[in-house]
Amino acid sequence: MKNDLTILLIEDDEMTLDIFRRILSKEYNFLFTSDVNKFYQLSTENKIDLFLIDLSLGLQKSGLILIKELRASEKYSNTPIIVVTAHAFSRDERVTLEAGANKFLRKPIESSKLMSEINSLIQNSKTRKTIVD
């Protein structure tokens, strides 16, 4: 049964987009784009419960900048962010986590691992929200 949570993915690789769509759309409202402007539009028009962000977005803005912008925004300052990237260096992971991402996952990733990380972050986010409210 599908829940009412919404995940937004920005990814410039069409094959990865398709794989994630097949995995995540079964359980979540799943929005995705490869375009930064569409990413802004979707995040403005919808309430996003978790972001999946690729660090390398071709000639567009980097995923690292998007993370910093989300953390600086009032609407998404505490929304979970998972980076799924082909970047393998520990420096990339450190810089990404310092920018505000909650998790750094290297491609390729098993679907069960991805779902586990998503469910864990969403559950933690709900718990924090309940404590604060």
pLDDT along the chain (133 residues), means of 10: 88 91 93 95 97 87 94 96 90 95 93 94 75 49
Q: What is the predicted pLDDT for the residue at 133? A: 47
Q: 97-104 long-range contacts, Cβ below 8 Å, gap at least 24?
A: 99/64, 99/67, 99/68, 99/71, 100/67, 100/68, 100/70, 100/71, 101/53, 101/67
Q: Domain 6-132, what fold?
A: Rossmann fold (3.40.50)
Q: What is the predicted pLDDT for the residue at 5? A: 94
Q: What is the predicted pLDDT for the residue at 129? A: 58
Residue ranges of the domains in the chain?
6-132
Tell me how many helices (H) and strands (E) the chain has. 5, 5
Cβ atoms of 104 and 96 closer than 8 Å: yes
Q: What is the predicted pLDDT for the residue at 1? A: 60
pTM: 0.92
